[in-house]
Amino acid sequence: MRILATIAIAMTVAWHAKAEPPLAEWAREGQQRVVKIYGAGGLAGLEAYQSGILVSPDGHVATSWSYVLDVEPIVLLDDGRRFESTIVGFEPALELAVLKIDATDLPYFPIEEDLEAQWGDPILAISNLFNIATGKEPASVMQGTIAAVSDLDARRGTFKTPYRGKVMILDLIANNPGAAGGAVIDSEGRLIGMLGKELRDSATGVWLNYSIPAKELRGTIGDIIAGRTTSAPPSAEAMLPRDQSHNPKTLGLVMLPDVLETTPAYIDEVVLDSPAAKADLRPDDLILLVGGKRVDGQRTLRNLLRMIDRRDDVELTIQRDTEILPLVLRP
């Protein structure tokens, strides 16, 4: 009887090993759906690379919004192909951006609506951490488990991030330089999350290894791809006369020299006692949104300000180092 029981157990184990795809197989499939992203890296000499996830066969890439995306970034695929990309849209509250490259028939991760990740589930984290994959080398893979699924505790400014939703706490050191925007997949190779940026507890100094659940991003990614959240460029008809509208000078802003076709909207100086100074704007802050509309350069910034009466408040969303902050300038 013991021999028969041993044979039965061995046959069961062999059947499961045959039925379940080997780890290397679904890891490799995940690597083919993760891209490397290269941008400007901000003004402080920070790393200019991160990761992204292909979310459509037509070249849409979901990634984490960061200073790497100060300019339209370069995207490298797993096979080494290199593409210029455009930023289709982003959502500051989720620290999410969607890029588009001119490619078709790409392997991608569908984002399933009802996919739930649980505590203890085995996972793989796939990303270009530390810029190890600079060409056609595959992205790095880390194996671990989900330690917890919880709300991100940022109520008292513990973590410098605008995101306030659910996160998966990962039992692996995944949130390294370059890993932001990478994929977290389950034991069946399905996308269950996107790696967030490096996040440190300001009270304890502890680094948090986490991922934003894919289902939290699904609706916004779909809206951006479908064009439902893309702001049209300001039209001449919507602009006010120059002596009635805002401009950087009326707000007390001195911008970096506008020498490129799309010079990023970085602040060079803030005039003392101006609306900008009272709102705590600082040199090297990057203006991302004006009144909820994306600022892709200084020309767009000036045009958007031309649409706001000089007597009205100006709502800005800015990036300061790794933080994204909403501010209101009151004339």
Taking only the tens of pLDDT, the chain with its 331 residues reads: 444 444 444 443 443 444 445 677 888 999 999 999 998 765 555 678 999 999 999 999 999 988 788 778 999 999 999 999 999 988 887 889 999 999 999 999 999 877 778 888 999 999 999 998 888 889 999 999 998 887 776 444 455 566 667 888 888 887 788 899 999 999 889 999 999 877 766 566 567 788 899 988 999 999 899 887 655 555 555 788 888 999 999 999 999 888 777 788 899 999 999 999 999 999 999 998 898 888 888 998 999 999 999 999 999 988 887 678 889 999 8
Domain with CATH 2.40.10.120 in the chain: 23-226
Whole-number pLDDT of residue 161: 65
How far apart CA 175 and CA 94 sit, in angstroms, is 17
Whole-number pLDDT of residue 4: 40
Structure tokens at 213: 């659940």
Which positions ≥6 away from 10 have C-beta within 8 Å?
none
Q: Is the pTM of this model over 0.85?
A: no
Whole-number pLDDT of residue 46: 66
Whole-number pLDDT of residue 201: 60
Domain with CATH 2.30.42.10 in the chain: 236-329
Whole-number pLDDT of residue 16: 45
How far apart CA 298 and CA 132 sit, in angstroms, is 34
What DSSP string describes 5-59?
HHHHHHHHHHHHHHHSPPHHHHHHHHHTTEEEEE---TTTT---EEEEEE-STTS
Are residues 194 and 181 in contact, defined by beta-carbon separation less than 8 angstroms? yes
Q: Which CATH number fits domain 23-226: 2.40.10.120, 1.10.10.10, 3.30.450.30, 3.30.450.20?
A: 2.40.10.120
Are residues 279 and 297 in contact, defined by beta-carbon separation less than 8 angstroms? no
Which ranges in 198-268 belong to alpha helices (H)? Answer: 214-226, 248-251
Q: Is domain 236-329 annotated with CATH 2.30.42.10? A: yes
Q: 125-138: string of b/e by CB count within 10 Å (b at 16+)? A: bbbbbeeebeeeeb
- 178 pairs with which residues across the strands? none
